[in-house]
Amino acid sequence: MRYISTRGEAPALGFEDVLLTGLATDGGLYVPESLPHFSLEEIRSWRGLPYAELAYKVMYPFVEDAIPADDFRKMLDETYSVFSHQAVAPLVQLDTNEWVMELFRGPTLAFKDFALQLLGRLLDYVLEKRNQHVVIMGATSGDTGSAAIEGCRRCEHVDIFILHPHQRVSEVQRRQMTTVQGDNIHNIAVKGNFDDCQRMVKESFGNQSFLGGKTQLAAVNSINWARIMAQIVYYFQASLALGGPDRSMAFSVPTGNFGDIFAGYLAKKMGLPISQLVIATNRNDILHRFMSGNKYEQHQLEHTLSPSMDIMVSSNFERLLFDLHGRDGAAVKALLENAAKGPVSIEDYRWKHARKLFDSDAVDDKTTCETIRDVYEQNEYLLDPHTAIGVRAARNCRRDSAVPMITLGTAHPAKFPDAIAESGLSVKPQLPAHMADLFEREERYTVLDNNVSEVQGFIAKHWKNA
């Protein structure tokens, strides 16, 4: 399988190169030249498979040119054996035909573990094969950083530099990153917001001269195709657990960077019956404003109780725009260049085509807290603020009560005690046993100004072979 850029000017690459490259040389994002498609009969035959085996069925077409089947199976078995629940992604019922899929049973208590635990193993495999070293540079709004560090910290051929917005992630999220010890792990707190961090990463991938030609950058953010690929699997898992593919499903997805919900879009294109995808956002609602009114316009970023969604530039949205424009890279490039200058819209028929599948909602902090409180009082089930936004958006946007609605539970509530307290509940979410001493561990991180040259200088000085 070959991979092409959403901007149409970069060379097509195989899986190994896409894994290591991140952004395409033309500034675009890589997507498969074509998608595998599974018949209903084939999907039906996967009922009852362990999660790792289902992951193999869904993902192997994307990597088969690069990784032998037995090696990939071994990676998947190792990846999902560290999750704390035998089902890996268990479903919890909230009401009639209403479910939460718990995607926080991995080692860092967030859905990012599904992809990043695998990504670390993929990188180790490919870099060992090539005898190559890379520098991972990533930006996090809270959860990607800890999952990336946990997934890649044992990689012998990798140095990791994770940027997070200083004082704009929860304390648990920060400590999960900054208490991991290792000479190859570097946490940078940038005096800015997530979009500033993400911009620095994109600029650095576009011009890697600060590394002196001695190594290259690799991406762990959801711009990396391997992240999206791994997230497709749990849509199939949820559907199969609830009677799919013989009936359609609806999903509500808390999202800021559009990667997690784009994986659901791909699952549908690959043959899984999905009737509705709900984009659930907070006050940083650029995706909701586009999907509800066909206007893509950046506003001032706001700090909320759901910090992992405090994002205004949704990188993965470009992948959807590429499809909506008939895979015309030049059109996507022109649209995004105009979007950097002011508000843009797409042709009405393209927008209406997207609306056949997608709905959206924006949920403020007050309503988020109300939802946390209401669901706990009704079910004694505690939601984190991101999942609460997903549940509220699902209830507000649901098209058909006969279709199962599944909200993706993206993080453990213990990561966001301030939001739980603000909801008025006296219950205090507890960290699981393997993190019980998190607040006693020594932290290591460096605070830097919101300046790309300063950040690049730090990386150039501190990577292993500098």
State how far the alpha carbon of 192 is from the alpha carbons of 161, 303, 365, in Å: 17, 11, 21
Catalytic residue selected from 112, 202, 268, 333: 112
E strand spans, 235-313: 249-254, 274-281
Residue type, position 443, single letter: E
Distance CA 205, CA 22 (A): 8
Residue type, position 118, single letter: L
Pairing outcome for strands 249-254 and 274-281: parallel
Structure tokens at 324: 């909506």
- Among residues 220, 208, 147, 153, the alpha carbon closest in space to that of 183 is found at 153
Distance CA 332, CA 114 (A): 29
Distinct helix (H) and strand (E) counts, the chain: 19, 13
When computed from its CA atoms, the radius of gyration of the chain, rounded to whole angstroms, is 21
DSSP assignments along 276-298, one per residue: EEEEEE-S--HHHHHHHHS-B--
Query: Taking every pair of C-alpha atoms in the chain, what is the biggest distance, in angstroms?
Result: 59
Distance CA 303, CA 418 (A): 13
Structure tokens at 48: 């009852």
Distance CA 413, CA 462 (A): 35
Q: Kindly give the residue spans of alpha helices, DSSP state H, lying in 302-416.
A: 317-324, 329-339, 348-355, 365-379, 385-397
Cβ contact 458:137 at 8 Å: no
Structure tokens at 441: 């561990």
Cβ contact 123:155 at 8 Å: yes
Cβ contact 166:189 at 8 Å: yes
Q: Is 269 a catalytic residue?
A: no
> For 100, phi and psi rounded to 5 degrees?
-115, 130
Cβ contact 382:109 at 8 Å: no
Cβ contact 170:416 at 8 Å: yes
Distance CA 47, CA 239 (A): 10
* Catalytic (active-site) positions: 112
